[in-house]
Amino acid sequence: MAGSEFQTHLETRGILVADGGIGTYLMASGMDKRALPLMPIEDPDAVFQVHLEYLKAGAQVIETHTFEANASKLGALGLVEDVYSLNRRAAQLARHARDTHGRPSFIMGSLGPLAVGVEASVGPGITYGNALEIYREAVHGLVAGGVDGFMVETMSDRHTVLAAVTAIRQESLLPIVVTFAFSPDGETLYGLTPEDAITFAAELPGGPPFLVGANCGSGPAPLLDAVLRMAPIAKKYGIALAAYPNAGEPSRRGGHIHYPASPEYVGTIAPALRAAGAVLIGGCCGTNPEHTVAIARSLADPRVWTVPNWEPGIADPHHIVEPTSEAIERGLGALFERQFVVSVELDPPRGITVSRVLDAARTVYNVGADVVNIGDSPMARVRLSAMATARLIEEQIPIQTILHFTTRDRNLMGIQSDLLGAHALGVRNVLCLTGDPPGLGDYAHATAVYDLDSIGLVKVLEGFNHGHDALGQAIGVPTQFDIGVGMNPNASDVEHEITRSLAKVEAGAQFIMLQPIYDPAILYEFLEKARLPANIPLVLGVMPLVSYRQALYLHNEVPGINIPTPILEQLASHHDGQALGSELAIQLIDDLSHIVSGVYLVPSYNRVASLVPIIQHIRQTRPTIGSNSVPSDG
């Protein structure tokens, strides 16, 4: 089908269903990730079958398997192949699948980002001229293979988009779709907001692409937010939108990457994307033909869908928090012995401005929180150092901190050096974590270290507390760290989680922070099986819900979160989701306070105002408490 037919179809019929993930779908069937880029040449039948499956599932648009088929990506992977031939063959396979299926559909030539930045201000990069030539080589092959248009996808910066779009326009008049990848914070890897991205694309030399939108990112709900933010500007420029969500936040499960969002859930998001202005809707990483079926079925529903009002997070005006001279008690051990501990989890800022996180910490301290725990670049996304954030908070607010510390980013020497530095800065409480793999975050090309896992990290801290390093060499005065570890009662492999948790305790863990739960029965059942030592404090994770939409997102897209159906039904019918969420959180704490020594509350995007009534309730009902004990008989 000619490229102009693709435009005509959308302009006259208004909506097209696209395919889903190709690379992740092939890996789910056992394909080695390193083998993926050359599959159109080395295993063409497998690629053909994937295209055919998507077409049978209802896809009207399929992409060529060429996301990494450029000289930059192939070179970074140590692969050698004729780029022109690779792209041409991939396009021919997609055409063969379409011909075999026999129904009208369109083939988009996929162009992904390069292995390094274009005109990058930091880190490795290449010139715009080199990028243009790299993309022209790939485009030439896709045109020769017979594509109907181009998908410039998973973009993060202006220069790469400009190089890709210019290369296409030098070789072809076919329609172009450009999609950007946004983090849950609403920015690309290079700091573009949805508003920045759509404005830039609209003002490209030669005019805007045919469609602009979002793909990949962190799942359907964050992607919907990005599309909603693009929509007013897209309407101003007369540009329609495209949306290709991931199947939620990925996690490792049994040595494989798992995506939590079900086909049914992704299908429920599709009408909202359509209502927001998307006319091309498919899936990205983690989606498969079942997701395509669900999207097609959902979009075929004749009912009119509307999108709830969306309000972007607006940074509070910066102001200086005055330093305090009040002393901070160091270490959680004594605190657990005399009272029910309340902590609030805060993420460091993306940049160097810390006023908002300091304001949040002061707010929760003023209503009775004892501690704030500080994330260490959670979800493998770059943020201000957790150690620096903890120190800044303790300097200005008389509240303890728990430093999240991952083994992902440092070798054994760096781990020990940073921990000793944290102690010297006054940080005493450390939560030992292995850390999410970089591939799950913004810096997929970054190298993870993992000299230790969380159990090994506990052993290092225990050694410091006895006056020696990991090699048994004396460090002088012993440290006084309070050592915490994580435990996930929602784990899919409960026995494995229990085994690791007991190993952490045996290694020297002194308190345990539990992954947020919403059903007390899950914790009772887990603790009955785990048989943890009765004297180790448990800190319950509580993430108050604020809306039905947020609950759906957490349940379907965030690994390790399971929200019972009755709670979802309550939120769906309740006019004030935040008030109900607070009530449910308080009830959960009341139900479980007799078996835990404290709670840590997790706000959305450091917005702690909704936590105030919960903290006040805890302080009114549990001003002090003795050490917890885990029931021995369930």
The pLDDT assigned to 439 comes to: 55
Tell me if 95 sits within 8 A of 146, measured CB to CB: yes
Structural domains present in the chain: 3-299 (3.20.20.330), 333-621 (3.20.20.220)
Nearest to 581 by CA among 516, 490, 512, 513: 516
Handedness of CA 458, 602, 342, 392 (dihedral sign): positive
Please identify which residue in the block is written with the tokens 């021995």: 632
Structure confidence by residue, pLDDT tens digits, 417-460? 999 999 999 999 999 998 877 655 555 556 677 889 999 999 99
CA separation (Å) from 632 to 72, 340, 500, 524, 560?
59, 21, 20, 11, 26
Beta strands 429-433 and 400-406 are parallel
Residues 180 and 242 sit within 8 Å (Cβ to Cβ):
no
Of all residues in the chain, the percent with pLDDT exceeding 70 is 90
Tokens of 392: 């800044």
**Distance between CA atoms of 404 and 484, rounded to whole angstroms?**
9
Q: How many angstroms separate the CA atoms of 67 and 151, rounded?
A: 9
Amino acid letter, 226: A
- Amino acid (1-letter code) at residue 29: S
- Model confidence pLDDT, tens digit, residues 335-346: 998 899 999 999
Residue 3, pLDDT score: 45
The whole-number pLDDT of residue 150 equals 98
Per-residue pLDDT tens digits for 64-98: 999 999 999 999 999 988 999 999 999 999 999 99
Percent of the chain with pLDDT over 90: 74
Strand order in the sheet with 16-17: 16-17, 278-281, 240-245, 211-216, 176-180, 149-155, 106-111, 61-63
Residue with tokens 């989606």: 287
Q: Among 140, 78, 82, which Cα is nearest to 109's?
A: 140
229: its two tokens: 């933010």
Q: Specify burial of residue 292 (Cβ count, 10 A radius: 0-12, 13-18, 19+).
A: buried
Q: Is the pLDDT of residue 377 over 90?
A: no
Does residue 630 carry a pLDDT above 50? Answer: no
pLDDT, averaged across the chain: 89
In degrees, rounded to 5, the angle at the alpha carbon of residue 328 between the alpha carbons of residues 326 and 331 is 170
- Look at residue 303 in the predicted model and tell me its pLDDT: 59
Instruction: Supply the DSSP string of 223-262, one letter for each residue.
Output: HHHHHHHHHHHHHHHT-EEEEEE-SS--EEETTEEE----
Global pTM value: 0.69
For 194, list phi and psi in degrees, rounded to 5. -55, -40
Residue with tokens 């063959």, as numbered in its chain: 89
pLDDT tier, 315 (very low <50, low <70, confident <90, very high otherwise): very low
DSSP letter at 379 equals G
pLDDT digits (tens, 9 = 90+) for 268-310: 999 999 999 999 999 999 999 999 999 999 998 765 455 444 4
Confirm if 227 and 243 have CB atoms less than 8 A apart. Answer: yes
